[in-house]
Amino acid sequence: MAGVSDQERGGWLAAFAGGRLLDAVLKLVIRRPRPPYAAAFLHDYSWSFPSGHAMGSLVSYGMPLTVAGMMRMSPPSWRTRLWMSAAAIARSVGECG
């Protein structure tokens, strides 16, 4: 990726790896089964919640929002709004995906 430092790239990789790990742990803890017809479309069976698409979206939208929220010029109320926006986007992806 041109124009991206090794540190930034490492941050993104760590965020996605952490999101994937959190997704796997939550699936094992919650253990919500998939609908019966889902097996016909899936190669590997896994639990249905949380949505991997929603988790990936939360990381994708959450990382830039986290960086923006960490900036000193952002008041605490904006940080809360940024996080709520990322969560709302991720939720909508999970419901539509």
In angstroms, the CA 5 to CA 22 distance is 26
In angstroms, the CA 37 to CA 39 distance is 6
Mean pLDDT of 10-33: 86
For residue range 33-55, what is the model confidence (pLDDT) as tens digits? Answer: 777 776 667 666 677 777 777 78
| Nearest to 81, CA basis, from 97, 93, 65 | 65
In angstroms, the CA 89 to CA 85 distance is 6
- Statement: the pTM of the whole predicted model exceeds 0.85: no
**Cis, bond preceding 50 (omega within 30 deg of 0):** yes
Residue 8 has pLDDT above 70, yes or no: yes
In angstroms, the CA 79 to CA 36 distance is 41
In angstroms, the CA 70 to CA 10 distance is 18
Q: Is 72 within a domain?
A: yes
Quickly state the pLDDT bin for 69 (edges 50, 70, 90): low
Give me the number of domains the chain comprises: 1
State the residue range of the domain holding 32: 6-96
Q: Is 1 within a domain?
A: no
| 69 within 8 A of 83, measured Cβ to Cβ | yes
